[in-house]
Chain A
């Protein structure tokens, strides 16, 4: 064993080092692209404000589809929030996906809903619909009660009922900024032919005060786990997604808040059922369809429409959430393997999918291999501790630097945290997250591989306090 390790050390070290270098080069590259893009975007916002482009009646109508499963604590607040958005023409379709709690009854009671005989086109197959509820006093609201079929099935049921050419998928435990819809629709107005999907930024509502469905006060929560996630979300959205969007390589428009062209989604048969990563799966299949039909397209990420959502505040819920996300990633990449490294699929086949495959999907395995290798080498005393410590310190500093860059992006673009002390409170976590948090997430994501091969399809339970 000792000899094997001595034999493996040089090649493994070089492999891990190359992987580490390429991965971080990508992240730094995205960060640099994102800085340019966010500054350009900020200038665009000032320009738009300056030329006073006012909304008139010809905005594109939007159907908001909010699937809900056991959301009794937050459903009324969320639906009230959706009904109070600043947008001229839209409808809100809440799909109660066979909840076993009081989700439906609370909706019926609060909005005084009555059963309706609404006729719709069943273009997509879904689990049976039990009833449709409306109230003429809330003409924008439609509530569908259906048998449980998971999130994708609920979204398909909402698509069947929806009337408008664009639809916005929203998590029913999230809160949108009042102008979020207005902002996220802009690419569809500016480039209606090419834009097929657009997503806004997801930010964490833990520690914030939400009243009457609107965010009233923003501050950093005390929970350490949530603070790590705040950094992580800033890095993923302001760094990664802005950069990937600039390269037209975005494969994920978050399921919590994404706007899509309905005709394309219907053409590919709606959401694919039996997947736990329905958001990524949809975008990848839309891209595949358009590549195959040789039509130009764009998937856009916008840094200013904000959706607030509650992050898991304990390890079990966080692990469950990340396990599901990683299984979703593996499922989607496995389903779209024919596009991987295939020049026929342009930027999707040659850049976007390889990036997600090599760095997002395989990344945790490489990381875990590195840790195991370190432990074994330590046991058999074939390790150079100075190198190991230096390399680890370097990894921590690079990780922290990228996270610091994300905070800088937040300062350049949104500056949503009004108090300087909130930003100061986040700074140490840029370093700390690389020490235990990151390793825990790698473990969870490796476990997701095992669950995937075991055929696990469960969503996992995430404890949320609600608003």
Chain B
């Protein structure tokens, strides 16, 4: 065997040995990992159930010592105690939550305040959740710090702020959204939407502020989704915006408000140059249930855009008898085959619904 052959042989053999040892190590690791993680899960589940039951007993117990005893007994189980407290705090409000807050203060607060400076995101996140639940009213300094943290912690803080809505906490949330370098609008929507009418004042002033178009579009969408009808006059300037996305959202928001006075506005939007705006406005006209809109809807049924035709059909169905009459007329005409097909589909839907009733 040559020198190079000898070397290659040893390299192959060495590699094989190393890899075989590593594979054996992997097998052992998989088995041990499964064993210990199952054990830990069982341990966690057992203590979580036990602590939850103890907490529920404590909530119905009038003995003032009960809170103290529970806190000291479970101080050494911070993981299960944290989760049990968070899960109950989500569901319980009022004086009972004060009892949970007392347990938190005695057993966890010192640790949680340390965790707020932890390099581990999850610890900071959990700490933020606990402090926001159990330190009311929110401490401004703490809120400001949390709002400057990484997105998940910031969102957790915002979500927690939304649990205790006041003009101040809502202002914090808007401030966080407007200074967020890459906002996740879906998440903000999920946080803000349940606040409903409490958002009205802040949203009104936000609509007047010069902001990035996507932020303005988000606020318009939110106003329509809730819907905040008193903001209707504040939405009107947006129907003539040069930005198509803003006009689409304005049409959708105004439509959702279902206000009789929006009729001329929606009629105007039904003739907007963008078909997306037309489609929104046409559907909105149907929701108003005013037979005056039939000529506009009949025109929309002849639109070259399928979505506009589809929404015109929907809107005519919403109008009831006069709309059905219009659909019948359109289905019988032969000038526009596409309009006739759409009208036939609408009539079929109506018939099926009628039969079902």
Contact = CB atoms under 8 A, between A and B. Distances in A.
A347 interface: no
Contact of B30 (A43, A46, A386, A423): A423
A387 B12 contact: yes
Most A CB contacts (10 A, CB to CB) among B13, B27, B90, B194 go to B27
Contact of A136 (B12, B193, B221, B352): B352
Interface stretch (B32-40, B67-75, B94-102, B170-178): B32-40
Interface string A412-433: 0001000010011001000000
Given A390-B9, A408-B33, A56 B23 contact: no
B186 to A, nearest CB: 4
A423 B152 contact: no
A136 B354 CA distance: 11
Contacts of A397: 16, 19-20, 23
A52 interface: yes
B348 A116 contact: yes
Interface in A376-401: 386-387, 390-391, 393-394, 397-398, 400-401
B16 A390 contact: yes
A54 interface: yes
Nearest to B187: A53
Interface in A332-364: none
B77 interface: no
A52 B90 contact: yes
Given A386-B9, A394-B12, A136 B190 contact: no
B271 interface: no
B129 A50 contact: yes
A121 B306 contact: yes
B159 A47 contact: no
A19 to B, nearest CB: 16
The CB with the most chain B CB atoms within 10 A, among A46, A51, A391, is that of A51
A394 B90 CA distance: 55
B114 to A, nearest CB: 19
Contact of B186 (A189, A405, A427): A189
Q: Which of B23, B156, B193, B306: most chain A Cβ within 10 A? A: B23
B52 interface: no
B159 A58 contact: no
Contacts of B186: 58, 189-190
Given A404-B27, A420-B35, A427-B27, A52 B19 contact: no
Contacts of A411: 30, 33-34, 37
A407 interface: yes
A3 interface: no
A305 to B, nearest CB: 17
B30 A393 contact: no
Contact of B19 (A116, A119, A401, A415): A401
A57 interface: yes
Which DSSP category, helix, strand, loop or mixed, fits chain B's interface? helix
A405 to B, nearest CB: 7
Contacts of A398: 19
Given A190-B184, A394-B19, A400-B23, A56 B189 contact: yes
Nearest to A393: B16
Interface of chain A: mostly helix, strand, loop or mixed: helix
B83 to A, nearest CB: 10
A311 B352 CA distance: 41
B51 interface: no
Contacts of B274: none
B46 interface: no
B152 A51 contact: yes
A117 to B, nearest CB: 5
B126 A50 contact: yes
Contact of B122 (A47, A54, A387, A394): A47
A51 B19 CA distance: 43
B29 to A, nearest CB: 7
Contacts of B27: 404, 427
B229 interface: no
Interface in B324-357: 341-342, 344-345, 348, 352-353, 356
Contacts of B342: 119
A401 B23 contact: yes
A455 interface: no
Contacts of A404: 23, 26-27, 30
B225 interface: yes
A1 interface: no
A136 B356 contact: yes
B34 A423 contact: yes
A394 B15 contact: yes
Contacts of A116: 348
A408 B73 CA distance: 37
Nearest to A48: B152
Nearest to B15: A394
Interface string A206-246: 00000000000000000000000000000000000000000
Interface in B1-15: 8-9, 12-13, 15
Nearest to B120: A43
Contacts of A190: 184, 186
A136 B22 CA distance: 60
B38 A47 contact: no
B26 A401 contact: yes
A239 B352 CA distance: 50
Given A401-B22, A411-B30, A46 B122 contact: yes
Nearest to B313: A119
A54 B188 CA distance: 11
Contacts of B12: 387, 390-391, 394
Contact of A405 (B8, B26, B34, B353): B26
Given A47-B125, A405-B26, A52 B159 contact: yes
A407 B30 contact: yes
Contacts of A46: 122
B155 interface: yes
A69 to B, nearest CB: 28
Contacts of B20: 397
Contacts of B126: 50
A169 B125 CA distance: 37
A274 to B, nearest CB: 28
Nearest to B151: A47
Contacts of B110: none
Contacts of A189: 184, 186
B341 A119 contact: yes
A29 B185 CA distance: 35
A117 B155 CA distance: 47
Nearest to B23: A401
Interface in A94-144: 116-119, 121, 136
24 contacts: A47-B125, A50-B122, A50-B129, A50-B156, A51-B152, A52-B90, A53-B187, A58-B186, A119-B341, A136-B356, A390-B13, A390-B16, A394-B12, A397-B20, A398-B19, A400-B23, A401-B19, A404-B26, A404-B27, A404-B30, A408-B26, A408-B29, A411-B34, A420-B35
4 cross-chain pairs, A with B, having the tightest CB-CB distances, nearest first: A119-B345, A404-B26, A119-B341, A189-B186
Given A50-B152, A394-B16, A404-B23, 20 more contacts: A47-B122, A50-B125, A51-B159, A53-B155, A53-B159, A58-B193, A116-B348, A121-B306, A136-B353, A190-B184, A387-B12, A390-B12, A390-B16, A391-B12, A398-B19, A405-B26, A408-B26, A408-B29, A411-B30, A420-B38
